[in-house]
Structure 1
Amino acid sequence: MKRSGILNRHLSGALAELGHGDGVLVCDVGFPIPDRVKVVDLAFRAGVPSFAEVLEGLLAELVVEGATAAEEVREANPAASALLDKHFPKPTLVSHQQLKDMAWDARVVVRTGEASPYANVLLRCGVFF
């Protein structure tokens, strides 16, 4: 049994399969998830777990070389915007529709219980060497 870190077996296994350049979409409870993409659904209740909790946990375990979010987050969700700025000095911002289109290429989607607008980010995996 794992001692610490991400304990969810489905999420831990999905993360172990990632390679350089793979995408991990962390999304809110309302984000439309494409049918063919692997999903780890962590949503329990509205707000649980939060976007921040899940993002922080993933960043503790992954090497991330880039992040893409919806430009709408800047005005519609200052808390999520500040969280993204804290972790990513220059996130790529695209329209929400473009982010939804990019979800089709994600290797895995992690659905949170977040119930605030535009709390979504597509992480691009890097390498530790």
Structure 2
Amino acid sequence: MKKAGILNRHLAGALAELGHGHEVLVCDAGMPVPDGPRVVDLAFRAGVPSFAEVLDGLLAELVVEGATAAGEVTDANPAAARLLSERLPGLTHVPHERLKELSARARLVVRTGEARPYANVLLRCGVFF
């Protein structure tokens, strides 16, 4: 049995299958989940688990070489905007509609219970060497 890191077996297994260039959408409870990508739905109740908790857990496990979020997050959810800019240097912004289009190519979608708007980010996996 694992004693640290991500314990959810579905999420841990999905992360182990990712490679360089694959994308992971980490999203709030309201983001439309596209058809196609593997989905690990962690949402339990509104706000549980939070976007911040899930993002921090994923960033502890993944090498991330790029990230994209909706520009609307800046005005609509300043707390999420700060979190993203602190955790993801070089974060790029696109309109929310474009982020939804881009999410269709994600290899994995991790849905949180976050109930604040625009708490979504598309992570691009890098390599550790």
Q: TM-score range by the shorter chain?
A: over 0.9
Counterpart position of 1:10: 10
Identify unmatched segments of 5+ residues in structure 2: none
Matches within 5 A, 1:52-71: 52-71=52-71
Distance in 2 between the 1:41 and 1:53 partners? Answer: 14
- The one-character-per-residue Cα deviations of 1:62-89 (angstroms, maximum 9, x if unpaired) are 0000110000001000000000011122
Matched AA of 1:86 = E
- Normalised by the length of structure 1, the TM-score is 0.99
* Runs of 4+ in structure 1 over 4 Å off: none
- The Cα shift of 1:3 comes to 1.0
Query: How much is the aligned-residue C-alpha RMSD, in angstroms?
Result: 0.5
Task: Report percent identity of matched pairs.
Answer: 74
Distance in 2 between the 1:99 and 1:35 partners? Answer: 15
Q: How many residue pairs get matched?
A: 129
Distance in 2 between the 1:87 and 1:43 partners? Answer: 22
- Normalised by the length of structure 2, the TM-score is 0.99
Counterpart position of 2:121: 121
Distance in 1 between the 2:101 and 2:44 partners? Answer: 26
- The Cα shift of 1:23 comes to 0.2
Counterpart position of 2:48: 48
